[in-house]
Chains A and B, each alone.
Chain A
Amino acid sequence: MLRISIDERPHWREQAKAHGFEFHTMYGEKYWDESAYYQFTLKQIEQDLEDPSDELHQMLLHLVDLVCNDESLLQQFAIPESQWELVTRSWRRRDQALYGRFDFSYGGKSPAKLLEANYDTPTSLFETGYWQWLWLEEQVKAGKLPRNADQFNGLQEALIERFYQLHKFHRGAPLHFSCCKESIEDLGTIQYMRSCAMEAGLKTKQVFIEDIGFHGQHFVDLDDSKIQWMFKLYPWEFMFQDEYSEQLSKAKVQWLEPAWKAILSNKAILPLLWQTFPNHPNLLPAYFEQDKHKIANSESGYVKKPLFSREGANIEIRKDQQLLARSAGGYGEEGYIYQAYSPLPKFAGFNTLIGSWIVGDKAVGIGVREDKSLITQDLSRFLPHIIVG
């Protein structure tokens, strides 16, 4: 695994604009960065990232089954009791899911270590599935990259295929895509997804989360049409707290991601993984609050993460009683988990993180992010990658 500098394509900013990729720069900071790329060997991709992702995915499904059959675990995952029925029923029905993303600490030398699973509302989808692909095509054409350069990136193809499969379960009903107002990143993400769904031949609609209404027995969009099937880029734990939480069990909606994903978008899954699959090469030791002492004085140090946290918020890294890093945010009231600290590999002074995508049940591609900070957050830069050799 190498980090290699390369000339930027001179026209990429105009191209980004033409493609509607408006969040390549956010708050004045570069988010998409093509002044360098990461290079992997095929062996690194297949053995170190793809196979472990497939396996971890199966492990996660096993844990969902475990949690759904154990009320004390549902409690430990801070899922409100009033929603247990919704969550467990969606699992017993095997409600279909779309996608997920693992975040790995991996530098090409030792096994990839799972930092967390983003299985409810993962983003950076367009950058991975479309934009870095386009970058590779053009750099090969321009002679800046070898002809045999490949990329681990079947993401877009897999998304289209998956939408097509899901469609068979919902013949006729349009798929509503939804996110919160006022985030161009989230809006861009659902518009990209919607493009993929349309490519698969689906009828689609769009509605903002805040505009959803409830009418008698069902949720409605701004045209007062029934919402029967909906993708939401909005976390389950928020939905469980919102005013409409009571309506969730009344309305018949097929959700993407389904309600059982509430179990997997939760950091409590990390200690449970370690309990169930101890010493698995791709896992880091992780503990609940009550077992904190098992890790508090360990040599590696530890990372304290709230059960619910997004975009790297409210994370604390401690080693030898010292605070190495801390991020701000509004999470934490539900409690924390403690995970062994495994520093991200450094390339050219940056901390590098691999996002590995699952669509359906299959690992289909990766995206690479890097940051000066020890904690990867939503403004960490996204760099393209290639496979050679």
Chain B
Amino acid sequence: MKRSRTIKLTLLMGATGGLTACGDSDESALLFKDVDECTSFGIEEEACQFQYQQALDSHRQEAPKYASEQLCESDFGFDRCEHSVGGIWRPIMAGFMVAALAEGVDEGLDMMKKRKKKKAAYLGGTYYSGAKPLYRSRDDFFSYRNAQNGFVASAKSSGTTSVKSSTINYKPRASSVSRSRGGFGRSATRSSGGSWGS
């Protein structure tokens, strides 16, 4: 017999395989560049400020850290990095994300329409883990990415959009200094098609 005797195998295919969190589902979220974009979407300034500050706090803890400005700029582009305490460089926060249940957001906006007196909506609904910082990297400038370099959404999609729950519900990781990431894979863009097998 020229073939395998048995084919039994625990197939990992199609399983999330440890790449994404278990049960990665689509969640709705609000994405804004800054507080202005948030208020112009019809949300109370106070709520926008609060979420922005929360994202900024997370940013200080979670942002990728670099030993030099040059290293940071090689990943995020010219003038896209800031100096912080301890001589460490990190990318600037390019936006923030508030993950909310779709119903919560809709309710908030509905309420705003109904109560004409109130000019802006307050953010209701369940928040996942507070507002999160967003980044835009040099090689993929038109996408928002989270602090773990996970793709979140297109940078054009401000306001309500749908994101993968794993991009919100990640465990913040203390990032180590002078680490670089993403040094492989760029050659792949020079040819069309997504597959590198042959």
- Cβ of B60 < 8 Å from any Cβ of A? no
Known interface pairs A154-B3, A205-B18, A206-B19; A21-B196 also in contact (CB < 8 Å): no
Judge whether A153 and B196 touch: CB under 8 Å: no
- Cβ of A95 < 8 Å from any Cβ of B? no
- Interface stretch, picked from A57-65, A78-86, A126-134, A279-287, is A126-134
A328 to B, closest residue via Cβ: B192
Mask, A33-67, CB within 8 Å of B = 1, is 00000000010010000000000000000000000
The count of residues in chain B whose C-beta lies closer than 8 Å to any C-beta of chain A is 42
- Which of chain A's residues have a CB closer than 8 A to the CB of B190? 330
Judge whether B14 and A22 touch: CB under 8 Å: yes
- Cβ of B1 < 8 Å from any Cβ of A? yes
- Cβ of B4 < 8 Å from any Cβ of A? yes
User: A247–B179 Cα gap in the complex (Å)?
Assistant: 13
Known interface pairs A153-B2, A198-B10, A387-B2; A189-B196 also in contact (CB < 8 Å): no
- Interface stretch, picked from A236-244, A288-296, A340-348, is A236-244
- Cβ of A146 < 8 Å from any Cβ of B? no
Judge whether B13 and A19 touch: CB under 8 Å: yes
Judge whether B181 and A213 touch: CB under 8 Å: yes
Known interface pairs A20-B13, A137-B7, A198-B12; A234-B195 also in contact (CB < 8 Å): no
Give the contacting residue for B196; candidates A137, A180, A206, A212; CB below 8 A.
Answer: A180
Give the contacting residue for A234; candidates B6, B10, B18, B196; CB below 8 A.
Answer: B196
User: A126–B9 Cα gap in the complex (Å)?
Assistant: 12
Interface of B is mostly: loop
- Interface stretch, picked from A5-13, A106-114, A117-125, A367-375, is A117-125
- Cβ of B186 < 8 Å from any Cβ of A? yes
A129 to B, closest residue via Cβ: B4
Mask, B1-34, CB within 8 Å of A = 1, is 1111111011111110111000000000000000
- Which of chain B's residues have a CB closer than 8 A to the CB of A215? 176, 178-180
Give the contacting residue for A208; candidates B5, B9, B19; CB below 8 A.
Answer: B19
Give the contacting residue for A123; candidates B74, B149, B186, B197; CB below 8 A.
Answer: B197
Least distance between B5 CB and chain A CB atoms (Å)? 7
B2 to A, closest residue via Cβ: A152
- Which of chain A's residues have a CB closer than 8 A to the CB of B12? 20, 191-192, 194-195, 198
- Cβ of A235 < 8 Å from any Cβ of B? yes
- Which of chain B's residues have a CB closer than 8 A to the CB of A383? none
- Which of chain A's residues have a CB closer than 8 A to the CB of B193? 311, 313, 378
A151 to B, closest residue via Cβ: B3
Mask, A168-185, CB within 8 Å of B = 1, is 000000000001111101
Give the interface of A toward B (CB within 8 A).
17, 19-22, 42, 45, 118, 120-124, 126, 129-130, 133-134, 136-137, 150-157, 179-183, 185-189, 191-192, 194-196, 198-199, 205-206, 208-216, 220, 222-224, 233-235, 237-239, 241-244, 247, 265, 310-311, 313, 328-331, 365, 378, 387
Q: A212-B181, A215-B176, A244-B183 are in contact. List 12 more A-B contacts (CB 8 A).
A: A19-B11, A22-B14, A152-B3, A154-B4, A185-B195, A186-B194, A186-B195, A209-B188, A210-B184, A213-B182, A238-B184, A242-B187
